[in-house]
Amino acid sequence: MLFGSPTILWVLAALSVPVIVHLFDFRRYKRVQFSDNYLLVQLLEKNRRQNRLRQIIIMILRMLFIASLVFAFAKPYFPSGNAISTTGDRLFVSVYIDNSLSMETSDGKTDLLEKARVKAREIAAAFPPASMFRLITNDFQGIYDRFAARGEFIDMLNSVGISPFSRPMSQVVSRMSDLADREAIDGNHFFYLLSDFQKVTADISDIRENSKRIYLMPLAAETPANIAVDSVWFSGPLQLENNILSVNARIRNHSSLLMEKIPVRLYVDGKQKGLSDVQLASGGSDNVSFSFTVNGKGSHEGYVEIDDSPVSFDDRMFFAFDIASSVSVYHISGNDATSTIPKLFGNDSLFSFISSPEGSVDMDRIGSSGLIILDELSQLSSGLATELSRAADNGAVVLVIPPANISDASYRSGFQTMGLPFYSGLDTANTRVSNIDALHPLFKGVFETPPANIQFPAVFSSYRLSKNSGRSIMGLLNGNSFLTDFVKGRGHVYLLATPLQPLYSSFASNALIVPTIVQMAFSGRVMPAVAYSMDYAFGIELTGTTARSEKPPVLKSFDGSIEMIPGYNSGNPPRIFLNGQVNQAGAYKVMSNKLTLMSFGLNYPRSESFPDCFGVEELNKMVLNRTNFMVNNLNNNTAVTLADLQSGTKLWKIFIIFALLFLAAELILLRIWI
């Protein structure tokens, strides 16, 4: 047992007063004459022994009463294993309030965030007035990067609101320690973490060892059953006006319950475009698909929505997309090229078709086109091969139609630059296409069932490729490949085994040529994401003309209420970085000089859709062997509990009770004996 005010123990010298009173009888006696006092002497002797015992008992009670009072005023306590002195002038208190989306959970009276504010005020009240306080939230705002007096700290608490961002506990404690070591290295520091301690963020085991005492204060909350709109995507990479668009959404069940007939709604440009329902197994997910049409060009916004409570931040996922005015196709024709490709694309307004002779290649157009067709070029220069390789890496599709008399040296060098195997020779045997890989993404949606009785093109002469190179999506009877797919970066390079001249094959007049090459145009460029999380840490890639723009683009909400300049990297491809600037979910567009470069939805992070939290017992097990950690469930008064945590178990009330008991015992005995 230790004492908070040990100097008061000097008052224990007053214990000598009852002893002195007992040893010295200060009462005056009156002498009375008796003729014979023998019997009286016997009676007095008997009473003297009883009185002496009674006086000793009364003396002991008085001494215990005085000692109990002195001990009570000396502030006795039993120190705990984590006791820290809260006396002195260098007390620094860092309080973390988890203001993430999960803290919106309410018990019907108040939400967890308000409970955290109340507990933070109680923490401040538990320290001496001269203590300094610092507030940390998930926003990591610079205005809080300092220690402040208690009054200012309370004002900061009142301004804390819900943030779309969550932070791992290890990152929070690291930030606390950095400021403590930077601004108050010689101070006495207290770290308090007020949170629901969701399992996805409470990485207690990853908190590095330090000398600071850390108090974990979980806010009690029942684990709710939660379902969420997890992701949204289009079935195809290109959205066209007046065409049927197909958008998909994944609904995920984060509970252990079976969820049946959950309604799912699709809204586009403020109008409901679809209604469906899903059934979700425990911890499972299901996809739902909607089809709709858009009758206008430009950018469009939408969202997929469900109804769920009490966790509602993940019930809606915003997305945005741009209607393509045309599909860019760049045709580079050789001297012997046929008119097949120009006839296929040239008369359709859906395609932005440009054809150039091989001697007048526009290198810039290669970089901005979705499909580049090399139609029987006599030469494949290294410069052209380099640009084609770069375009494919960025997501473009390249189709190589070989010439009748291929230049071995030129094409071999160009293929090597593009990372492709060269043709191994010419096969002049008559054959035909015998099979199609209907599961290849190029033919997605083309065939309702795998083709069986289809008329395949005849082949009279063809170039051979190694059977172990690329993916054959059209095969010949002789086992060779007629059309081979090579994945290049984020794009594709397709090698045809014959020229389109009728002397080599009937492919140019066969019905398969239309879906095959047109699908290449539709699949050109990478399918852009239509929805991102606000905490997306990687750069969002922009497309097309932004690669040549010197001025940073602007990020703007569809309703115009939010506008900001994001982080920008003008590399290849160019990227923007959110850097935590956006805190409102919705549809956004990236603009440069009033031109919309890209549209997408920004949504609250789904990391906190997992509602499971650590309880007090689990946290105690996690910190069992870490002496600088303490766990408190905050069910009792926080100030009292913190005082016990910091300085041990206080005993002054117990000694006051003992003092009253001793005094009462003395008074009762005196009344009985006198």
| Spatial separation of the C-alpha atoms in residues 607 and 230, rounded to whole Å | 10
Residues 291, 274 contacting (CB under 8 angstroms):
yes
Based on the domain organization, do 234 and 180 belong to the same domain? no
Q: Is residue 86 part of a domain?
A: no
- pLDDT tens digits, residue range 508-567? 999 899 989 988 988 876 667 899 999 998 889 886 544 455 678 999 999 999 999 999
Q: What value does the mean pLDDT take over residues 448-452?
A: 59
Q: Is residue 151 part of a domain?
A: yes
| Spatial separation of the C-alpha atoms in residues 546 and 553, rounded to whole Å | 8
Residues 295, 319 contacting (CB under 8 angstroms):
no
Looking at residue 341, which CATH number applies to its domain?
Answer: 3.40.50.880
**3 state SS of 497:** coil
| Residue 74 confidence (pLDDT) above 50 | yes
Based on the domain organization, do 364 and 337 belong to the same domain? yes
Beta-carbon-side half-sphere exposure of residue 145 (alpha carbons within 13 Å)? 10
| Residue 611 confidence (pLDDT) above 50 | yes
Q: Is residue 84 part of a domain?
A: no
Looking at residue 617, which CATH number applies to its domain?
Answer: 3.40.50.410
| Residue 407 confidence (pLDDT) above 80 | no
Q: Is residue 608 part of a domain?
A: no
Q: What is the mean pLDDT of the chain?
A: 85
Based on the domain organization, do 457 and 406 belong to the same domain? yes
Domain count within the chain: 5
The pairing of strands 259-268 and 298-305 is antiparallel
Residues 556, 563 contacting (CB under 8 angstroms):
yes
Based on the domain organization, do 489 and 394 belong to the same domain? yes
**Looking at this protein, which amino acid is placed at residue 473?**
I
- pLDDT tens digits, residue range 562-582? 999 999 988 777 889 998 899
Cis ω for the linkage preceding 76 (within 30 of 0):
no
- C-alpha distances in angstroms, 660 versus 56, 210, 639, 649, 652? 19, 46, 27, 21, 13
The predicted pLDDT at position 545 comes to: 47
Q: Is residue 167 part of a domain?
A: yes
Q: Among 543, 576, 603, where does a domain finish?
A: 603
- pLDDT tens digits, residue range 277-334? 999 999 999 999 999 998 888 899 999 999 988 888 999 999 999 887 778 899 999 9
Q: Is residue 85 part of a domain?
A: no
640 pLDDT tier (thresholds 50, 70, 90): low
240-249, 381-390, 397-406, 524-533: the lowest-pLDDT one: 524-533
Based on the domain organization, do 366 and 299 belong to the same domain? no
Note down the domain range covering 305: 227-324
Q: Is residue 587 part of a domain?
A: yes
Q: Which residue has the higher pLDDT, 343 or 642?
A: 343
**CA-based nearest residue to 163, from 104, 230, 77, 79:** 104
The predicted pLDDT at position 80 comes to: 57
Based on the domain organization, do 631 and 597 belong to the same domain? no
Radius of gyration of the chain, Cα coordinates, nearest whole angstrom: 42
The predicted pLDDT at position 546 comes to: 41
**Is the pTM of the predicted complex or chain greater than 0.75?**
no
Q: What value does the mean pLDDT take over residues 81-98?
A: 70
**3 state SS of 316:** strand
Based on the domain organization, do 301 and 156 belong to the same domain? no
Based on the domain organization, do 499 and 388 belong to the same domain? yes
Based on the domain organization, do 248 and 262 belong to the same domain? yes
Q: Is residue 552 part of a domain?
A: yes
- pLDDT tens digits, residue range 130-173? 889 999 999 888 788 888 999 999 999 998 999 998 999 999 99
Q: Among 264, 291, 324, where does a domain finish?
A: 324
Chain length of the chain: 674
Based on the domain organization, do 277 and 339 belong to the same domain? no
Based on the domain organization, do 306 and 202 belong to the same domain? no
Based on the domain organization, do 625 and 659 belong to the same domain? no
The token pair at 249 is 């959404």
| Residue 637 confidence (pLDDT) above 60 | no
Q: Among 522, 542, 562, where does a domain finish?
A: 522
The pairing of strands 629-631 and 567-569 is unpaired
Torsion of CA 634, 640, 644, 649, to 10 degrees: -130
**3 state SS of 264:** strand
Looking at residue 547, which CATH number applies to its domain?
Answer: 2.60.40
| Residue 642 confidence (pLDDT) above 50 | yes
| Residue 387 confidence (pLDDT) above 90 | yes
